[in-house]
Structure 1
């Protein structure tokens, strides 16, 4: 009997025909899974150094990005949920139980928090800072304009600066190497590492523009997801009714 070989032959012919159709329609190669780079943007074939260069260029050229995750800085862990673009950013920050919102439009930085946050900032009364619960309640729920000369401006404005933040986050330390293919949010990625992961790792999209999608910082200094590349969002200063201009310096702890 030759039924089984005949069925197999017909199946092979059918698969070949489908493969040819796909190649003709899309221009892709490697039908059947022989080429792991089939249908990708091609960066997976590059060296780790070139992949890092490509993803940095892609990130710098993007109009906007959403950044989510944790960053450890000066011994403190900050959980971020930020949207950033060239002229500012907005989002929430949580650190040591305190939660507040940041909004920067151009050089103007605003901070919004509840009374509990401002109560923990008490202490510096010589410069007019609030020293009682009533003052903290007055600031609660309002956008407080942060003076450019205040230490808080330097401390928090970096969280709203796309270029500054990404420049620091996308840096891998040590010898670069590729660490296989992975997936982030349903998107295929290639991973590059510094010193086999001790210097951080970065997942770069293999689909479309090679944007960085996940960053693990060196030394356990946080893990971040980067999404919504190029998706614009509204960025406006709060109204005067929502704003308190604190003057030369914010309350200090």
Structure 2
């Protein structure tokens, strides 16, 4: 007879299938070039804000990603709907290497905490039989289960991979600017702040894999600690 938590153990494989969109196969993305000749700390006239819209698209995108890497952390929330209309909701808080995440599919959630090179996962990705309900399992960051989540477990990488085809940048209003994705913005937009640090505000994208709509807020330090209870041996 199936155990009561068998249904929950199906969440992780299903969620993994949802996030395996083009560019998210778990392979590391090409390094983003960091422009060393750009000084956004310089004086700009008020009508151009932080000056990011004065840059070429490639340099502007690299500057946004550099600003994200320099930030202490962020919360990324949103949804992904695949081509079969399956819904994945996500909430990821922290910074690269230290994040707390929750992914939900069909009202069943998977929790992942990544810290100090260890991924704590609930429910466990397999069915060992003796695994106690409600107990986090421990996996290495190079475990295939973890590497397949890589894109969504790092907000910087999420932005880097889903904006690789940015074709232009233009002011949206006095405080924000939009990168258009794909030719003439056919695939979506990345909205960033054009006042202060050029950090992402919202990413909307739609292609053959599905539709993504995520927001970025709560920039600053996030206290990420190991969850509990943990499986024996963690």
Paired residue secondary structure (2:172)? strand
- 2:80 is aligned, of 59, 65, 71, to 71
Aligned residue number for residue 237 of structure 1? 226
Distance in 2 (CA, whole Å) between partners of 1:180 and 1:157 is: 31
Question: What is the TM-score with the length of structure 1 in the denominator?
Answer: 0.61
How many equivalent residue pairs? 188
Aligned residue number for residue 164 of structure 2? 171
Query: After superposition, where does 1:7-18 map in structure 2 within 5 Å?
Result: none
CA offset at residue 179 of structure 1? 4.8
Aligned residue number for residue 33 of structure 1? none
Distance in 1 (CA, whole Å) between partners of 2:145 and 2:232 is: 14
Question: What is the TM-score with the length of structure 2 in the denominator?
Answer: 0.66
Aligned residue number for residue 18 of structure 1? none
Query: After superposition, where does 1:191-206 map in structure 2 within 5 Å?
Result: 191-194=178-181, 195-206=183-194
* 8 Å CA contact 2:179, 2:191 repeated in 1: yes
- Matching of residue 52 in structure 1 with residue 45 in structure 2: no
Structure 1 runs not aligned, ≥5 long = 1-26, 31-35, 123-128, 248-253
RMSD: 3.3
Change in CA separation of 1:111 and 1:182 when aligned onto 2, cut-off 3 Å: farther
Distance in 2 (CA, whole Å) between partners of 1:58 and 1:150 is: 29
Change in CA separation of 1:153 and 1:55 when aligned onto 2, cut-off 3 Å: closer
- Matching of residue 181 in structure 1 with residue 141 in structure 2: no
Who wins on radius of gyration, i.e. which is larger? 1
Distance in 2 (CA, whole Å) between partners of 1:46 and 1:79 is: 34
* 8 Å CA contact 1:215, 1:223 repeated in 2: yes
Deviations 1:135-159 (A, max 9, x none): 57x22x2222135565422233543
- 1:225 is aligned, of 215, 219, 231, to 215
CA offset at residue 79 of structure 1? 1.4
Query: After superposition, where does 1:110-189 map in structure 2 within 5 Å?
Result: 110-113=120-123, 129-130=128-129, 138-139=132-133, 141-146=134-139, 150-173=143-166, 176-182=167-173, 188-189=175-176
Distance in 1 (CA, whole Å) between partners of 2:141 and 2:192 is: 36
Structure 2 runs not aligned, ≥5 long = 1-42
CA offset at residue 211 of structure 1? 0.8
Change in CA separation of 1:196 and 1:59 when aligned onto 2, cut-off 3 Å: same
Change in CA separation of 1:158 and 1:202 when aligned onto 2, cut-off 3 Å: closer
Structure showing greater relative contact order (alpha-carbon pairs closer than 8 Å, 6 or more residues apart): 2
- Matching of residue 42 in structure 1 with residue 31 in structure 2: no
Point out the structure with the larger helix share.
1
Change in CA separation of 1:163 and 1:97 when aligned onto 2, cut-off 3 Å: same
Deviations 1:13-55 (A, max 9, x none): xxxxxxxxxxxxxx9967xxxxx43xx2122344433322321
